Structure 1
Amino acid sequence: MTTSELAQGDALESADDVTAPPYRLQPLLHDLVSTVMAPTSALSGPDGQIRAAGVQGVFHADSRALSQVRLLIDGVEPEAVAHAPAGPGRTRFVSLARHLGDRHPDPTVRLDRVREVGRSGMTETVEIASTASADVAATVTIELSCDFAPIEVVKSGGLAEPSPPSAGRPGELHWRSGAIRVVVTGEGAEADPGDPGTAADGEPGGATRLRWNITLAPRTRVTLRWRVAIDDPAAVVVAPAGQPEWSAPEVVAADRRLTRLLHQSLDDLRSLRLAEAGAPGDVFLGAGVPWFLTLFGRDSLWAARMLLPLGTRLAGGTLRVLARRQGVRLDPGSGEAPGKIMHELRRHEFAVEGNNLRLPAAYYGTIDATPLWISLLHDAWRWGMPDHEVAALLPNLEAALGWLGDHADPDGDGFVEYIDGSERGLANQGWKDSGDAVRFHDGTRAEPPIALAEVQGYAYEAARHAAALLEAFGRPGAARWRDHAAAMAERFRARFWVEGPQGRFPALALDRDKRPVDSLTSNIGHLLGTGILSAAEEADVAALLASPAMAEGFGLRTMSSADGGFSPLSYHCGSIWPHDTAIVIAGLARAGHGAQAASLAEGLLAAGESFGYRLPELYAGDTREVVGRPVPYPAACRPQAWSAAAAVTIAHVALGLYPDVPEGRVTLRPLAGAPFGPVSVQGFRVAGTEVRVSVGADGRADVTGLPAGMSVVGD
């Protein structure tokens, strides 16, 4: 995925990376509640309390503003009973104050705490209601602290000293670190900046707090409000204005899990919208909360590609943002090269204590973002991105092809490969970028330079997509890139295929000695539909991906359970990633293997139900029969852009709408047998026009509302 070699699950990679005790562990977050409106996010316990521990806090961009927000009534924490999302950027927490009110089993004092995260801060409304038979008097306090910890310090399990506050106007507290300013205001509250040398109300001294004294008559309620505002002029990402760049589809499906998953996923995607500080009009999706709420080339590209059925505006913004930062020089330290699309954007160098990883603020260590950029431009064009927008990006397309032809194959063997030239960057630079992700069948690690299987498929597809664009817009080079793709396919067929216990399949990669890395992994599913495989080869791959060793969990395992490196809780060697499964689902459908696609999609729907319809970044690859529900991966981001986008892919594949706007036609190819029952979506967009697509119980598909001049053709 996105990440660094401080990958979740590898906690500082391995013992070899830890030079001295104590061994610091990345904080877990699977049981935390995220409330997000990018670039601001709040992570708390299920009770709504933000404690000074782990990754809890209110974050803005890549810095933590508040490290503690703890609500007390008469010095006692309320008892939590429920929490639930309440729309994009909003969460409701329900708790009880059982020490107040009548003395009988039914609670009589209830708190509803509604947290709303905005673009540059957070507001909380605390409604306290009493059904007690007599007046209830109490003191409500909110204890606060601020440490300005950078996200990489939090991620590595490090600590930061709390920053001292200062009082402002009545009910106001201030913190400052460099250019960042944090202001907390409590309506009608007394603000106490605290004093380490004193104690108040019998509580430990020194707490910074807001305080309200309240009295509730029988069957009345009181509402308290407070807010935090964050001014961060140095942030590299900002909140975009306006409404989302995609449609809000109306979905009716017999399988209600699909409608619920899509509804929650669209809320999550709305909360992950971002723009660069200098170009607020071009919107992209931040990768995920909390570690990756910024621009990530691969993640942002895949998420935009998966959302194309809802419109091309997000794709356009993502393409332009990355085009502006396209590489122009050779720099081994950052991985930059002419024409290359970047990997990751941060405020400053991403350096982890106790680890050799040091990524510059603008880091280019990705092998696949450049071909994915090309294919997103092509696919957006096919979905109806205006010609003038496509034409404006053709110079960047040609520069990307320059990288593919001149820099993507450093040893000249005809394969796209990577090696970290800086010795401080990512050792692996595909989407599985943890240090142990590329393993042979016996579990041993492959040594770089490494040529990944799926990257050859991306490059093949990108060359053909680029040829189609160059030809359509009257630019030279189409024949060259078609020939380039054909030669790639032949080389791939000759070098990558291996024999395993379950049959013949493409290897995960070639290592530095050009040996096939012979583990069976989900990577080969990304080859489906790219064209680099023949129909017979696609059938072989589809059969293996549907085998129990790969697909007996809630989706597709990243590695076969028969391989020596497999572990269900490995970040990239046995876990299940929703976006990975969704990409393979789409490839299976494009290649005509609908039954396998439907089975994997059902796994994601079952997982979505278990996770409250907010799919995490990844979860364990356990067998369904063993646990009955997916086991969380304890450091997974949630929400995560491409995990949320997987819901759109499932709906799209079920309906099978494949437009080619330049050619004036639409192909309808729904999954055979209507595996999710009747499905209807109003709000898919073709050339900016909303259309209705439906599949009946008999599996027949229909589309209405197409733009003038578009015709429907059979598969």
Structure 2
Amino acid sequence: MSDSIDRFFAHLQETAGEILPVTPTGVLRFDLVDDSATTTWFVTIRDGRARVKRTGGDADCVVEMQTADFEGLLAGRSNSVALLFRGVVSIEGDLKLYLLFRRLLPKQADSGNPEPDVGVPVRRERDGIRLHEWSSVFYGNMFMISGQDGNAEAGPTVPLGLFFFDTRFLSTWRLSVDDQPLASLSVDDVRSFESKFALVPGRPAHYVNTTTSILRHRWLRENLEEEITLFNFAPEPVRYTVRLDVGADFAEIKEVHDGFHRQRTVTSTVDQDSLRLHYRRQTLHRETVISSSQPAHIDEQGFTFTVTVDSHGTWSTRMRVLTLVRDLHQRDLRERLYSSTTRARAEAGREIDTIVASAPRLRADHQGLSEAYECSVRDLAALYYQGLNFAERLPATGLPWSMTLLGRESLVSSFQALPFLPDRAVNTLRIMALAQGARHDPFRAEQPGRIVQESRYGESAAFDDSPEAADFGAVDTTPWFVILLDEYERWTGDADLVRRYEVEARAAVDWLDTDADPVGTGYVWSDRRDTRAGPVNESWRSSAEGICFHDGRLAPYPHAVCEVQGYTYDAKLRAARLARRFWNDTALADRLEREAADLRERFNSDFWLPDRGYYALALQTDGTPVDALASNVGHLLFSGIVEPARAERLVGHLLGPALFSGWGVRSLAATEGRFSPLGQYTGAVWPWDNSIIAWGLRRYGFKEEAARLSTALLAAGRYFGGRLPGFFAGYDRERTRVPVPYRFTDSPYAPSSGATLLLLRVLLGLEPYDDHLAVDAAVPEEMGQIALLDVRGRWGYADALGRGRRLRDQHPPPS
């Protein structure tokens, strides 16, 4: 055993006081292996402290790894999550304890791979296909996208195929009959995880009188299963050759998104009843196993069935695809973890139905609102995944690019959905607290108290080629954590949860005053992050073009983005309320209220552009304002940092012709040098962004404007079947008459689903007030009546009613 490991465990008990949250608790056993022996340490975590022994009995979590790997973890050269996915750690039991143990590691780290990206990725242009042109199913963070015929033939930059844990386990899944391709008659999207394809052989012009048809019934749970049924309606038996071509390239979803392609060597193994596709890189091993319920000739490229079907008879086979992520002992990681349970298809459906049934019931005259509400609630109920070891499900963000944990998006969508699906907030707060930053690791932008933004499971994350295993590169997730924690208590009255996360909330507030302000000006600063797809900044406008001047020049780094200062102001006021009411710390409450008041005063002085009548998009370190007009200024109304006397001018910009497209507020005004209606952050309309703006309008008393924005977005949603995408093009409504979709954006997308719910809250004016639900409806006349029944909260259950009427705005001061 090395001296560094001995010293670490010897001093652990002395240095662990008041470092740890009160949950989770339990016993970890570390089995550290070298060439000669295995050394064991027991760490008991309880009451916010860690106690160390060399011997012990049963453990809640058993961690096995090589001594050298543990030394690398202590030295900061490795990340605990990346080690797990690299296949050098074996864990049995409760993974939460292993993740909590991160807080006890030495604080300094730099875990980047000194030799990243084995092989040179080739940059390619991404295909311009749109999601609605394809068929998709998803369950947890496993999803499959195929053509309308059920086939997937993926190129390097096209997100077709079967993905699991950010990796494509099937890139080819092509069915043919007698060497003929299949034409689609219909696609039935039964549920989010289940689809049926009705098909016939041949091209569309040739199948009118066909006597053969095929049904593909596909569903996901922990695995992919597909039942292929062949129907023979001929007057005599027919002999068929059914071929299923399969393949896997094990590409990462981020590679596909960013237009990169890394060459990988994939090997095939043919067993008696299955085909196995393997990819290995050092200790990392990913495997796809395909099997059939019927006999087949199996080769390295797929399955061939030669069958004779009687007249008016059928033949079927069930294909099963396993996606395996191997650990240190070549077991699938999920085999030994507590929550790894297989759900039947019916159980998976019941689980989603139960969540949907728990939401308030909506009765609305406006068909678009009813359609969007039903779709949004069902999508949010389905956008979850189990991870590896969490008994509670974790929030996923969107299909296809974001079917994983994203901090900002999870926090925002949980806030939006609070009156409707409060359990989403519980799950989000729990994982954000558990994954909170504990070290100073510049590679990941990790800092103590900072809330994680992205957690990926692919090859690049496993080998620290990129920081995505635990990437903290966002400046708005940390204040959003505090905002959601407070808002959750205001709605539910769950004081126990607020007390449970006191340590994490205090650490988040401390981060806002320390590492978040390296310039020392009292603002939260966003810095540049370099990725293989190019530089990004740490706000939600993550594109390098997202923060720009009016004339189109890009703003240098670092910069203080305007809405982040608003979030910080809001978070400090909310943390002050929690400190005074639940943490018994009036001194902290008083200090935070003073700091918030000072921030508001300085912000309104430094960011306001009097000749423009709006706030600067950002501030440079020398105090120079970045003067582009962007949707971000609407978030300032949401946070309450805007001086009431300035609100009306701000609202005039938000709903003026430069920002408001008729479908929603653009991310960048049409008057700005970098404006493009197709630019994600330079002109597109983001529904979640607009929902935050709508709530801000409502907060400052602009009910008519809030309703106008809400109805515009709901009108756009009807062209997307009630499911708003992540964003859509910012063309003028008068010009295009319909909202223009943007290539291949996430849909469903949790913050867009949540946008519909927050807009409904805006229209009804829902607000918790002590132990009552306050309702102050402002429903436009054309929307008719809205009734939201059985709204859960600290009051039990309540109904909210609103009747359409002609609105006359009075603009009272903000609450």
TM-score by length of 2: 0.75
1:509 aligns with 2:602: no
Unaligned runs of at least 5 residues, structure 2: 1-119, 328-332, 808-814
Moved more, 313-322 or 280-289: 280-289
Partner amino acid, structure 1, of 2:177: I
* Corresponding residue to 1:26 among 116, 126, 146: 126
* Mapping 1:81-230, distance limit 5 Å: 81-97=185-201, 105=208, 109-118=212-221, 120-129=222-231, 137-155=239-257, 156-161=259-264, 163-170=266-273, 172-177=274-279, 178-194=284-300, 207-211=301-305, 213-215=307-309, 217-218=311-312, 221-230=314-323
* Mapping 1:463-502, distance limit 5 Å: 463-473=572-582, 474-476=584-586, 477-499=588-610
Measure how far apart 1:162 and its partner are: 6.5
Question: Contact (CA 8 Å) 2:779, 2:803: kept in 1 or not?
Answer: no
Partner amino acid, structure 2, of 1:187: S
1:37 aligns with 2:145: no
Measure how far apart 1:601 and its partner are: 2.2
- Alignment partners' CA distance in 2, 1:215 and 1:643: 48
Question: Contact (CA 8 Å) 2:144, 2:162: kept in 1 or not?
Answer: yes
**Pair 1:86–1:665, CA change in 2 (3 A):** same
**Pair 1:519–1:99, CA change in 2 (3 A):** closer
The superposition leaves residues 526-554 of structure 1 with CA deviations (integer Å, 9 ceiling, x where unpaired) of: 11132211333222222211112212242
* Corresponding residue to 1:448 among 557, 570, 576: 557
Moved more, 463-472 or 412-421: 412-421
- Alignment partners' CA distance in 2, 1:426 and 1:268: 32
Measure how far apart 1:252 and its partner are: 2.0
Measure how far apart 1:351 and its partner are: 7.5
**Pair 1:421–1:259, CA change in 2 (3 A):** closer
SS at match of 2:153: coil
Structure 2 equivalent of residue 8 of structure 1: none
- Alignment partners' CA distance in 2, 1:313 and 1:699: 36
- Alignment partners' CA distance in 1, 2:340 and 2:802: 37
- Alignment partners' CA distance in 1, 2:250 and 2:470: 22
Structure 1 equivalent of residue 381 of structure 2: 270
Measure how far apart 1:594 and its partner are: 2.4
**Pair 1:273–1:688, CA change in 2 (3 A):** farther
Question: Contact (CA 8 Å) 1:91, 1:114: kept in 2 or not?
Answer: yes
* Mapping 1:607-618, distance limit 5 Å: 607-618=716-727
SS at match of 1:372: helix
Root mean square deviation, CA, Å? 3.1
- Alignment partners' CA distance in 2, 1:614 and 1:310: 17
**Pair 1:209–1:615, CA change in 2 (3 A):** farther
Moved more, 665-674 or 395-404: 665-674
Question: Contact (CA 8 Å) 1:310, 1:684: kept in 2 or not?
Answer: yes
1:322 aligns with 2:432: yes
- Alignment partners' CA distance in 1, 2:408 and 2:206: 58
The superposition leaves residues 564-623 of structure 1 with CA deviations (integer Å, 9 ceiling, x where unpaired) of: 110011121001111111221222222222222222222322332222333221111111
Partner amino acid, structure 2, of 1:174: R
SS at match of 2:393: strand
Structure 1 equivalent of residue 674 of structure 2: 565
Question: Contact (CA 8 Å) 1:173, 1:191: kept in 2 or not?
Answer: no
Question: Contact (CA 8 Å) 2:658, 2:669: kept in 1 or not?
Answer: yes
Question: Contact (CA 8 Å) 1:71, 1:143: kept in 2 or not?
Answer: yes
1:682 aligns with 2:795: no
1:370 aligns with 2:478: yes
Measure how far apart 1:129 and its partner are: 4.4
Partner amino acid, structure 2, of 1:261: A
* Corresponding residue to 2:171 among 67, 81, 97: 67
- Alignment partners' CA distance in 2, 1:113 and 1:266: 28
Measure how far apart 1:217 and its partner are: 2.5
SS at match of 1:427: strand
The superposition leaves residues 387-431 of structure 1 with CA deviations (integer Å, 9 ceiling, x where unpaired) of: 111110011111111111122221122211122488989631111
**Pair 1:23–1:423, CA change in 2 (3 A):** closer
- Alignment partners' CA distance in 2, 1:162 and 1:302: 40
Structure 1 equivalent of residue 183 of structure 2: 79
Question: Contact (CA 8 Å) 2:572, 2:592: kept in 1 or not?
Answer: yes
* Corresponding residue to 2:504 among 374, 396, 404: 396
Measure how far apart 1:682 and its partner are: 3.0
Greater relative contact order (CA < 8 Å, ≥ 6 in sequence): 1
Unaligned runs of at least 5 residues, structure 1: 1-19, 195-206, 701-714
**Pair 1:191–1:626, CA change in 2 (3 A):** farther
Number of aligned residues: 659
Structure 2 equivalent of residue 668 of structure 1: 775
* Corresponding residue to 1:695 among 791, 802, 809: 802
* Corresponding residue to 1:300 among 395, 410, 428: 410
Question: Contact (CA 8 Å) 1:145, 1:163: kept in 2 or not?
Answer: no
SS at match of 1:302: helix
- Alignment partners' CA distance in 2, 1:166 and 1:117: 24
- Alignment partners' CA distance in 1, 2:308 and 2:490: 61
Structure 2 equivalent of residue 527 of structure 1: 636
Question: Contact (CA 8 Å) 1:216, 1:222: kept in 2 or not?
Answer: no
Measure how far apart 1:626 and its partner are: 2.4
* Mapping 1:547-696, distance limit 5 Å: 547-660=656-769, 663-673=770-780, 675-687=782-794, 689-696=796-803
SS at match of 1:478: helix
- Alignment partners' CA distance in 2, 1:582 and 1:357: 36
TM-score by length of 1: 0.85
Partner amino acid, structure 1, of 2:664: G
